[in-house]
Amino acid sequence: MTFRARALLEPDNCAFVFIDHQPQMAFGVASIDRQLLKTNTVALAKTAKLFGVPTLLTAVETNGFSGFIWPELMDVIQQKPFERTSMNSWDSDTLVAAVKATGRKKIVLAALWTEACLLFPTLSAIEEGLDVYIVTDASGGTSVESHQAAIRRMEAAGAHSTTALTVLLELQRDWANRASYDGVMAIVREHFGAYGMGVDYAYTHVHKAPQRAQFPHQV
């Protein structure tokens, strides 16, 4: 299917980078519930996988401070992370080369923490002419104020704020796209709360799909 609005994200015009979704970094997050942060991040990774979007992982000081990337995220992406020491992942020549090797000009970023590991590469990538989309609910800061201040600074520099659900729907775009429809619905049902509950209701009560499990009535 061909879409007309090239300003929007499409599977063939973007790449995803997940930055420092590691335990020690998550411990410091105070801008979003940590479990919600994790489910949004994993949903974003599943979105990239479903639509075949090039995806990269990077980690900071895995053995010295931060710990291993969340296993739920690694289970989806299944690749060796780019290891680094700099707070700015754009200081890593190997990572930057890998991003540029995708040939994509739209870069979707999610990171811990917002005020450093998301902010710094976003500004650097914009400076190099890339179109950056920051996934605010798959990123987290050490305070609400710090998270929001960093977002404002990135937006002022030209970054586009978005959410994990918006990215999923933006890549799907048309419900007639049946190749990815079931995959999208599976991500919605598992990760997106009330929306997923509504989908479950529509499947079972409107379309008469069987419930996932049938139990005998208690006597």
Residues annotated as catalytic (active site), given as ranges? 117
C-alpha 111/C-alpha 125 separation (Å) is: 14
DSSP helix/strand/coil, 200: helix
- How is the chain split among helix, strand and coil, in percent rounded to 5? 55, 15, 35
Q: How far apart, in whole angstroms, are the C-alpha atoms of residue 181 and residue 190?
A: 14
Cα(1)–Cα(6) distance, integer angstroms = 13
Phi then psi for residue 90, to 5 deg, are: -70, -10
What is the C-alpha to C-alpha distance for residues 136 and 123, in angstroms, rounded to an integer?
Answer: 15
Q: What's the half-sphere exposure (Cβ side, CA atoms, 13 Å) at 79?
A: 14
Q: Which two tokens stand for residue 26?
A: 């998550």
- Residue pair 112/84 in contact (Cβ under 8 Å)? The answer is no
Backbone phi and psi for residue 72, each to the nearest 5 degrees, phi listed first: -65, -35
